[in-house]
Amino acid sequence: MLVGMADFVVVQNQNAMLRTPPLGACLGISVYDPVAKVGGVLHSLLPDSGIDPARALSRPGMFLDSGLAALLLRAKQLGARLENLAVCVAGGARILDETSYFNIGHRNFEVLTGLLGELGLAPKAQEVGGLSNRSMQLNAATGEVRLKISGQAAMKVLCKPSTTI
């Protein structure tokens, strides 16, 4: 199941495989509760919904703050518990911005770590920054997150959540 740009998907479906297209400066955030078997992925573009509150209401996944809140709310509605969540993060690259003038990817990651910190969460694993596109894939049966990195043939395992809490 493709998680498009500015979108999120949360499932409690053992057969689901959630994947993003290449992330670039965007962030892919996966959450997985191994007890409730609830998993989700957010594909967020920008750090702060304050620049367009109306768009954040209609499309919360566009922004990290509104998208993360919507992702976690939906996961809780399906039975996930915040204290059980394994969070994995990928993306935040400097695509077409090698001078770091805008560096949206870095700003995205800074905002995300702040938001997670306020919730008492931290990424279990992360692969952010650099100059390469990455695509993220979450296996909803196991919580394993894999990355396809531009220019590399094999997928890389980013994280494997433990089955015990």
Tell me, what CATH number does 35's domain have? 3.30.1330.200
Exposed (0-12), middle (13-18) or buried (19+): which is 122, by Cβ within 10 Å?
A: exposed
In-domain check, residue 1: no
The pLDDT of residue 29 = 98
Q: What is the Cα–Cα distance from 46 to 67, expressed in whole angstroms?
A: 10
Q: What is the Cα–Cα distance from 36 to 136, expressed in whole angstroms?
A: 22
Query: Model-level pTM greater than 0.75?
Result: yes
The pLDDT of residue 18 = 98
In-domain check, residue 165: no
In-domain check, residue 15: yes
In-domain check, residue 2: no
pLDDT in tens, the chain (165 residues): 999 999 999 999 889 999 999 999 999 999 999 999 999 999 999 999 999 999 999 999 999 999 999 999 999 999 999 999 999 999 999 876 555 556 889 999 999 999 999 999 999 999 999 889 999 999 999 999 999 999 899 999 999 876 544
Domain count across the chain: 1
Cβ atoms 66, 7 nearer than 8 A: no
Amino acid code (one letter) for 60: P
Q: What is the Cα–Cα distance from 7 to 156, expressed in whole angstroms?
A: 23
In-domain check, residue 116: yes
Six-digit token string for 11:
């499932």
Q: What is the Cα–Cα distance from 126 to 85, expressed in whole angstroms?
A: 15
In-domain check, residue 164: no
Tell me the residue range of the domain where 152 lies.
7-159
Q: What is the Cα–Cα distance from 113 to 99, expressed in whole angstroms?
A: 23
